C-alpha cells in the first residue's frame, strides 16, 4: 500500500496530527474520525504495548488518519515488531547522531539494504499482499526525533542521512537538555528550534514538532514545519474535564466554594 503520509512530506504538504497516549482503541477511533491527517501512537510515554497497538491500528484502519508508531527505543527487534504489526511510519525518539540514524534506516529495511527480518505478518496481510516484500523498503517512512543538546548540535548531519524522511524536534526534552526544564518556550530553546528547522529544510527533509498552543503551532508551520502535532488526547481530556468540573465549582481548577453551595 502506498504511504500517503510519506508522499505528503515529499511534496511539502503540511500534515496536522494528534498524539495518542491514552492506550485506548476507542478514543483512537474517536480522534481518527475528527479529520486529523495523522495520529501518533506513543509507546514511549504511555501504557501502550504491542497488543494495545494492534487494537488501535484496527480501530483506525477505516479512517483517513495515518497511523504513526513511536517505539520506546530504537532497538531493531522492537522496530521489527512495529513494522510487522502494520505501521508504515515510525517516529524513533532520542536519536543523537547521524550514525544512530543510519542504523535505524537499516533496521527498517530488508536485506541486503538492512537487517529487518522477513516474516509473514499483518503488514503483508499475512502474505496475501504478494508485492509487500518488494515495495516495503520504499513505502516505510522513518522519522527521527532530536531532543537533546547533542542531537540539536548534529541536526544537519542527522537530517542528511539517506533514508531519513523527516526530523521531529522534541521541545520538552530539548528544553531540559539545554538547562531550561519545563520551559519549552525559553528564548534559547526557541532559537535552537528555529535553527534546527532551517537546517532540516536545507537538507531536503521534512521538519516536525508538537505544540498544543495554536499560535505556536501556526508559527512552526510558517517556519516550514511539514508535520505538526497540535495536541494530545490526554491534554484534550484534562482540559475538557477540568473545565466541566469547574462549571459546577469542582475540580483542580475550581475556586474554593463558600459554605452552603454544595
My answer on whether omega of the bond before 145 falls inside 30° of 0, hence cis, is: no
Q: How many Cα atoms within 13 Å fall on the side-chain side of residue 50?
A: 11
Residue 131: what are its φ and ψ, rounded to 5°?
-90, -5
CB 69 within 8 A of CB 60: no
Q: Using alpha carbons, select from 233, 232, 234, 238 the residue that is nearest to residue 251.
A: 238
Alpha helices in 46-203 (DSSP H): 50-60, 76-85, 98-107, 132-139, 149-153, 155-159, 171-177, 187-202
Half-sphere exposure of 162 (CA within 13 A, CB side): 5
Which residue numbers are catalytic? 45
- Residue of 230, 175, 219 whose CA lies nearest to 197: 219
Closest by CA to 135, choosing from 143, 123, 146, 144, is 123
Q: Is 138 exposed, middle or buried (0-12, 13-18, 19+ CB in 10 A)?
A: exposed
Distance CA 151, CA 147 (A): 6
Amino acid at each position: 500500500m502506498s504511504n500517503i503520509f510519506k508522499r505528503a512530506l515529499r511534496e511539502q504538504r503540511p500534515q496536522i496530527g494528534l498524539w495518542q497516549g491514552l492506550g485506548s482503541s476507542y478514543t483512537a477511533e474517536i480522534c481518527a474520525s475528527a479529520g486529523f491527517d495523522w495520529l501518533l501512537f506513543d509507546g514511549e510515554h504511555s501504557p501502550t504495548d504491542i497488543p494495545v497497538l494492534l487494537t488501535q491500528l484496527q480501530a483506525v484502519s477505516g479512517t483517513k488518519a495515518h497511523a504513526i508508531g513511536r517505539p520506546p527505543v530504537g532497538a531493531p527487534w522492537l522496530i521489527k515488531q512495529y513494522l510487522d504489526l502494520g505501521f508504515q511510519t515510525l517516529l524513533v525518539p532520542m536519536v543523537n547522531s547521524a550514525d544512530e540514524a543510519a542504523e535505524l534506516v537499516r533496521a527498517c529495511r530488508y536485506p541486503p539494504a538492512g537487517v529487518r527480518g522477513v516474516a509473514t505478518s499483518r503488514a503483508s496481510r499475512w502474505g496475501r499482499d504478494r508485492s509487500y516484500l518488494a515495495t516495503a523498503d520504499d513505502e516505510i517512512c522513518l522519522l527521527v526525533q532530536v531532543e537533546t543538546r547533542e542531537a540539536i548540535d548534529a541536526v544537519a548531519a542527522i537530517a542528511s542521512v539517506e533514508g531519513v524522511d523527516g526530523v521531529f524536534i522534541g521541545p520538552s526534552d530539548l528544553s531540559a537538555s539545554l538547562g531550561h526544564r519545563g520551559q519549552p518556550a525559553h528564548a534559547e530553546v526557541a532559537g535552537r528550534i528555529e535553527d534546527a528547522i532551517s537546517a532540516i529544510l536545507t537538507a531536503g527533509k521534512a521538519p516536525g514538532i508538537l505544540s498544543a498552543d495554536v499560535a505556536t503551532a501556526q508559527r512552526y508551520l510558517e517556519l516550514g514545519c511539514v508535520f505538526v502535532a497540535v495536541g494530545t488526547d490526554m491534554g484534550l481530556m484534562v482540559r475538557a474535564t477540568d473545565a466541566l468540573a469547574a462549571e459546577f465549582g469542582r475540580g483542580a481548577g475550581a475556586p474554593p466554594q463558600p459554605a452552603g453551595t454544595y
